[in-house]
Amino acid sequence: MNEPPDARSVRACVDAAARDLLIREPFFGHLLVGTIRSVGSSGAAVRLVPTPVAPGLEIGTGEWSTLAPAARTASLKHELLHLALKHPLRGRTYASRQLWDLACDLVVNQLMDVSDLPGAITAGQLRLPPDRSADEYYELLREPFLAACHAGGCAFPDPGADGTRDSGAEGAVAAIRRWLAGPGAARHQGWPEFAALPSATLSTYTHSVDSLVASTVRRARRRGWGSLPAALVARLESADRPPEIPWQRVLRLFGATSERTFVRNVLSRPSKRYGTAPGTRVRRRTRLVVAVDTSGSVSTADIAAFFAEIHGMWRRGADITVLEADAEVHREYQYRGRAPAAVTGRGGTCLRPVLVRANELAADGLVYLTDGHAPSPCELCVRPRMPVLWVLTADGVAPDASRLPGRKTRLTRPAVRRPPDRSGR
């Protein structure tokens, strides 16, 4: 089929951008080469759209021709990050589609340089904390987004005694309105098409993206990560690394005496006693507290290996409460199948705060992922009231039986270290 001259020119520009990225930023280059691309006439320079086999990139000839080369590259990287994090595939579970789009933009814009990205919006512009997930930003943005959508003005509290308003809140609403009216929101025009797809198709898309990202990580790792931020490298390493410990067997040890039993109704299994539907199905789950050592002696690659193990526990049916801790517990949250963009801490190490908090939560077991460089909990007069498994890094301290109470195991594969940046930055 013969293409118009402008379409051929756009394809040639995208091919040239892919070659340039393969040299300077191998992760984005390999990801772009492996993604299905098409040329259209949409109002966005680059956007994600469904194709018969996987999510693809559509290049809008009109908007693309108005952008400078740096802005074109930034637009491609922005959409590739959305693809790698599977943001458009998760939007159907949220009530406000545009609010989800905005939350996803705040995440990916922290993982790249947005100085050349048209219509970019950042967490700093909205007075929001950095390094949060899209789900967290969605909750934090509910009120300002609702205010921005009101045509009659801002829904702010009444002025205080001095007659002033919250200028920060007003600035956030103004920034959201600019995003809604500009190219930032236009880049998400194709996302509603993903929400309308059958669940089976979305599952196929998810598997396709996972395979693409895994192969891209393997290729990019050999070339060096370049200027990718540490938070993105940790997430990619975690997604590519399978769990090393046989968690199905370990969880049986934890839950042998205290696992929880859940009964739920199902339509596919009628009651054998009464012959009625729905029937019931019994599931047993183990409640675990999983501590992640985020002290300065633990590398970013080690943290990625830790979350690969956490994902393995979660896949085998455990209810997991994650504690991010160094000398104190900084964050506590339920693990839902996705690693955080970044962890908190990076100070010294003390085991006592985690043991105290785990005793308060009264879970079935505690898994402590650490390099072991810390004073013994026995010296700190804290005894765990539950079974404990210490998972040590491959290059961590020797698992002295008298020093760490409970079972101990070691990750045998060394974490993949990030090679030096060859670009000199």
Give the CATH number, domain containing residue 342: 3.40.50
Pairwise CA distance, residues 371 & 140, whole Å = 34
22 lies in the same domain as 171:
yes
- B/e letters for 162-176, b = 16+ CB within 10 Å, e = fewer, are eeeeeeebeebbebb
3-class secondary structure, 159: coil
194 lies in the same domain as 324:
no
Name the more confident of 294 and 235. Answer: 294
Phi-psi region of 359 (alpha: psi -120 to 50; beta: other; left: phi over 0): alpha
223 lies in the same domain as 327:
no
**pLDDT, tens digit, for every residue of 312-367?**
888 777 889 999 999 899 999 999 887 887 788 888 888 889 999 999 998 888 99
218 lies in the same domain as 351:
no
Among 180, 199, 228, the domain boundary falls at 228
Residue 417 lies in a domain: no
249 lies in the same domain as 208:
no
For residue 35, the model assigns a pLDDT of 94
Identify whether the C-beta of residue 91 lies closer than 8 Å to the C-beta of residue 134: no
Q: How confident is the model at residue 103 (pLDDT cuts 50, 70, 90)?
A: very high
256 lies in the same domain as 328:
yes
3-class secondary structure, 134: helix
For residue 338, the model assigns a pLDDT of 78
Residue 207's CB is within 10 A of a number of other CB atoms, namely 11
The dihedrals phi and psi of 16, each to the nearest 5 degrees, come to -65, -40
Element (H, E) at 267: none
188 lies in the same domain as 266:
no
For residue 375, the model assigns a pLDDT of 74
Identify whether the C-beta of residue 394 lies closer than 8 Å to the C-beta of residue 414: yes
219 lies in the same domain as 266:
no
Average pLDDT over residues 136-144: 90
Q: Does 130 sit behind a cis peptide bond, omega within 30 degrees of 0 on the bond before it?
A: no
Q: How confident is the model at residue 380 (pLDDT cuts 50, 70, 90)?
A: low
Identify whether the C-beta of residue 132 lies closer than 8 Å to the C-beta of residue 122: no
Close Cβ partners of 65 (under 8 Å, ≥ 6 residues apart):
6, 10
Close Cβ partners of 257 (under 8 Å, ≥ 6 residues apart):
none
Residue 117 lies in a domain: yes
Residue 262, pLDDT > 50, answer no
**Mean pLDDT highest for which of 162-166, 384-388, 417-421?**
384-388
Domain hosting 164: range is 5-228
Among 178, 204, 228, the domain boundary falls at 228
Identify whether the C-beta of residue 101 lies closer than 8 Å to the C-beta of residue 191: yes
Chain CA centroid to CA 136, Å: 11
Residue 164, pLDDT > 60, answer no
- Give me 78's structure tokens: 């922005």
141 lies in the same domain as 288:
no
Residue 296, pLDDT > 80, answer yes
Pairwise CA distance, residues 324 & 349, whole Å = 11
Residue 416 lies in a domain: no
Strand partners, 333: 322
Pairwise CA distance, residues 375 & 364, whole Å = 24
Residue 342 lies in a domain: yes
> What percentage of the chain reaches a pLDDT higher than 70?
76
Among 205, 228, 251, the domain boundary falls at 228
> What percentage of the chain reaches a pLDDT higher than 90?
33
Residue 418 lies in a domain: no
192 lies in the same domain as 242:
no
- Give me 277's structure tokens: 């539907």
Average pLDDT over residues 144-154: 71
Pairwise CA distance, residues 10 & 387, whole Å = 60
Q: What is the residue-averaged pLDDT of the chain?
A: 80
Identify whether the C-beta of residue 357 lies closer than 8 Å to the C-beta of residue 323: yes
Residue 423 lies in a domain: no
Residue 269 lies in a domain: yes
Closest CA to 80 of 111, 51, 102, 41: 111
User: Which of 178-182, 228-232, 307-311, 317-321 shows the lowest per-residue confidence on average (mean pLDDT)?
Assistant: 228-232
Identify whether the C-beta of residue 292 lies closer than 8 Å to the C-beta of residue 306: yes
Residue 118 lies in a domain: yes
Identify whether the C-beta of residue 28 lies closer than 8 Å to the C-beta of residue 77: yes
Query: Sheet holding 319-325: strands in order across?
Result: 329-334, 319-325, 287-293, 365-370, 388-392, 407-410
CB-count burial class (<10 Å; 0-12, 13-18, 19+) for 382: middle
294 lies in the same domain as 173:
no
Q: How many domains does the chain have?
A: 2
- B/e letters for 296-319, b = 16+ CB within 10 Å, e = fewer, are ebbbbbbbbbbbbbbbbbbebebb
Average pLDDT over residues 14-42: 91
**pLDDT, tens digit, for every residue of 81-96?**
999 999 999 888 888 9
Identify whether the C-beta of residue 188 lies closer than 8 Å to the C-beta of residue 42: no
281 lies in the same domain as 223:
no
**Where are the strands (E) in 148-230, listed by range?**
none
3-class secondary structure, 321: strand
